[in-house]
Structure 1
Amino acid sequence: MQKKLYIGTNTKMYKTIRQTVAFLDELGSLTRDIDRNLLELFVIPSYTALDAAARTAQAQAITLGAQNMSWEDEGQFTGEVSPLMLEETGVRLVCIGHSERRHIFGEDDEVENKKVLAALRHHFTPLLCVGETASQKELGIQNEVLRSQLKVGLHDTSPEQARHIWIAYEPVWAIGVGGTPAGVMYASRMYTVIRQTLREIYGGEAGDRIPILYGGSVNNMNARELIQAPDIDGLFIGRSAWDADNFSRIIHDLVDICLIK
């Protein structure tokens, strides 16, 4: 049986409400021919666009996510967005621990764990992002960093809850305008570390079910090679996905490859 392919994007702080709706409408139309039993297509827009995004005609074909979330349901937390607020938008996915949240806004593994637990409590799918910095890679401690991020970030979650968890491996040095994508051999080694750690946390069967995505300077040139690497279940794509036509071409290409495998 063909394994489901996970492909999505986070638009960060780039698209307005109008631009997001237009993007979703075009993307949904261009990918209408793809069986959603084979493809889990997701888009993570800005908070302000979520309500309008959920009301588009394509909302059923594209899973919508939030870029962040508070671990508290309510309270005196100016500027935060609670799980209760996200429930009203129809969001099903929450991105947690993106490298920009960790390294620009100072979130640590304990904070990410609180958010993972809150997401599961409110029946969202947490997409937990993990990845090492360039200096950690140079020191040769990337394995330890990934294991720590996973073991702390997923602390107190159960094998039953693991069915609703996704992981994105995003090496910090590979993200952004100046990022350099990880080579397939290097990414495969890191995926082995991630998969082994998930098995330690949840056991073999539950740990093997969790989809692991790669993100970090994915583009039309390297997407094909990355998706064929062992253990990579999908791609979390940045600016190459922000044009619906180009994103559709990448998606169709990857789906065709996976059907041949």
Structure 2
Amino acid sequence: MKPFWIGTNWKMTKTTKEGLAYVEKLKTFDKDARQAGLQLFVIPSFLSLPSIHPALNGTNIKLGAQNMHWAEQGAYTGEISASMLTEAGVQMIELGHSERRKYFNETDEQLNKKLKTAIHHGIQPLVCIGEDRDTKQAGESAVFNYLAQQIDRALHGIQEEDLSSLLLAYEPVWAIGEQGVPAEAAYIDRIHTFIRNHLRKHYRSVGDSIPLLYGGSVHLDNFHSYRALEHVNGLFVGRAAWDMDLFKQMLTELIQIKSDGGYTR
């Protein structure tokens, strides 16, 4: 059975000390989560990676990074290479987050180069896609076209067999951040169904196996409606996961659902 992914990107929030305290609490869920078929992951800041990696040794919790450059090395001040990340113990790499696109002008073409580098170095890529508010207001056909372009540009020139480790996170821009508006489950269902069918059509050998995560104002009041959707294979949680008192309730409920036999994929 495929795992159900659940994790969080800390963005620029936690210091290394705060991050270590967080993962010590997260580790208490590791065994039960593993038995329940949940795959936990956490994506700290760059500076915290070398300290958090050993803290996660012996667990099934995956460690990710928030970004990387596509070049092996070079005069790229302020950037991080794939080899630097693997040396720090990174297993996953988040690519294409809307904040990287908006604030740092990252393009689909740059994302494509980063994705190829991640695959080359054996780092599991978590590629983020999602439409902005204007595209959503233009109607679902516009949203479908927008997402299809993001996917196809990101995966351009990559062999299907090299996409076996890919994770794809749908994060509508209008639903994330402090001003984000939670999406209706029915809307997410239609979007994820479109994404799955698009992957099946264009990436046949792996189209069914690529996990589709949802992220965007996921919290205690709505995560059950999201996780129950057929084509939602994981949750990429924001602020509700930064506070372990909230996140532990979410994890506890997911673990309990599984142990009661009420959750399958």
Deviations 1:60-80 (A, max 9, x none): 321000000100010000010
Runs of 4+ with >4 A deviation: none
Aligned to 1:192, the other structure's residue is in SS state helix
TM-score w.r.t. structure 2 length?
A: 0.94
Residue identity matched to 2:243: D
Which residue of structure 2 lines up, in the alignment, with residue 148 of structure 1?
149
Residue identity matched to 2:190: R
Which residue of structure 1 lines up, in the alignment, with residue 235 of structure 2?
235
CA drift at 1:128: 0.4
| Shift in CA distance, 235/177, structure 1 to aligned 2, threshold 3 Å | same
Residue identity matched to 1:142: V
Query: Could you tell me how far apart the structure 2 residues matched to 1:139 and 1:59 are?
Result: 48
Query: Could you tell me how far apart the structure 1 residues matched to 2:35 and 2:106 are?
Result: 34
CA contact (8 A) 1:44 1:64 kept: yes
Unaligned stretches of 5+ residues in structure 1: none
CA drift at 1:29: 1.4
Alignment of 1:75-154 (within 5 A): 75-140=74-139, 141-154=142-155
Residue identity matched to 1:39: L
Query: Could you tell me how far apart the structure 2 residues matched to 1:31 and 1:246 are?
Result: 17
How many pairs align?
259
Which residue of structure 1 lines up, in the alignment, with residue 223 of structure 2?
223
| Shift in CA distance, 58/24, structure 1 to aligned 2, threshold 3 Å | farther
TM-score w.r.t. structure 1 length?
A: 0.95
Deviations 1:173-215 (A, max 9, x none): 0001110111111111110121122112310x41100000000
CA drift at 1:58: 5.3
Residue identity matched to 1:256: Q
CA contact (8 A) 2:182 2:217 kept: yes
Query: Could you tell me how far apart the structure 2 residues matched to 1:198 and 1:155 are?
Result: 13
CA contact (8 A) 2:32 2:255 kept: no
- Shifted more, 15-24 versus 243-252: the winner is 243-252
Percent of residue pairs bearing the same amino acid type = 42
Alignment of 1:33-44 (within 5 A): 33-35=32-34, 38-44=37-43
CA RMSD of aligned residues (A): 1.4
Aligned to 2:183, the other structure's residue is in SS state coil
